[in-house]
Homo-oligomer: A and B are copies of this chain.
Amino acid sequence: MERLEDPPDVVIRRLPLYARSLRYLLDEEIHSVSSQELGERINVTAAQIRKDLSYFGEFGKQGIGYDVEKLLNHIERILGLDQSWPVILVGVGHLGQAIARYDGFHSQGLRIVGIFETDQHKIGQKIAHIEITDYALMPKVIRDTDVRLGIIAVPAAEAQSVADMLIDSGIRAILCYAPIILQTPDDVWVRYIDPVAVLHSMTYYLARENMP
C-alpha cells in the first residue's frame, strides 16, 4: 500500500459536504452513486471528488461508483464522526440561544455540554435542557469534562478574551461568531461564521450589475 499524503485543508473542508449529501441520498433510498452524480448535487467536479477521496483510500468500484452507505461511513470515520463531540458555548444573546436550540448540532454528533454567560440574570436559567452557567466556572468545567470544541457567541469586544480563556483551559478548536479575527496559537483551530462579511462580498457584485 502507498503511503498517503496529508490531505490539504480545502479537502477536509469539503468532506462534511460530501457526507451530508450522502446522508440525503440515503434518505432518498439511493444506495449507489457515481462521482459525477454526487458532484452535480454539490456543484463540484467528478474529478475533484475522486481526487479528494484518494487522499484517504479507495472507496469505489470501477464501472459502478460508490456504495452510498459505505462511503458515508468511511467519511464519517475520517472526520471523527463515529463519536459524538462535546461542545461548549459562550454567550447567550439571541444568537447563542438560537445555537443552543438548533437541533442540527445534536443530530450531527455535536453535544452542547455547557453554556456560559456573565450576565447574572441569565445564569441558572435553562435553554434546551442545559443550564446557563457562570462564565467564571468555565475553566473548571472545561478541565473536568475534557471538552475540546468551543463556540464563541459574545460581542466582538469580548471575543478575544473569551478565546484566551477557552484556550488556556484546554479548548483546541473554536468556532467564532463574533465579527473579529482572533489572535491564537498555531496549534488551535479557529473558524469563523461571518454573515455580514459574506453579504458584503455579494454587494460588490450587485453594485456592478446593470452597469457599464
Contacts and interface: CB of A to CB of B under 8 A. Distances in A.
Given A80-B207, A85-B206, A196-B16, A104 B179 contact: yes
Contacts of A175: 195, 198-199, 202
A202 to B, nearest CB: 4
A181 B203 CA distance: 21
Interface in A163-212: 172-173, 175, 179-181, 183, 189, 191, 193-209
* Complex copy number for this chain: 2
A203 B98 contact: no
B204 A12 contact: yes
A64 to B, nearest CB: 24
B189 A20 contact: no
Contact of A201 (B12, B109, B193): B12
A27 B36 CA distance: 50
Given A97-B98, A98-B98, A43 B181 contact: yes
A158 to B, nearest CB: 14
Nearest to A44: B181
16 contacts: A13-B197, A16-B197, A16-B198, A20-B179, A78-B204, A79-B203, A79-B204, A81-B203, A94-B101, A94-B102, A109-B203, A149-B202, A172-B206, A175-B195, A175-B198, A193-B195
The 10 lowest CB-CB distance pairs between A and B, nearest first, are A80-B207, A16-B200, A98-B98, A16-B197, A173-B202, A94-B98, A80-B203, A13-B201, A94-B101, A42-B181
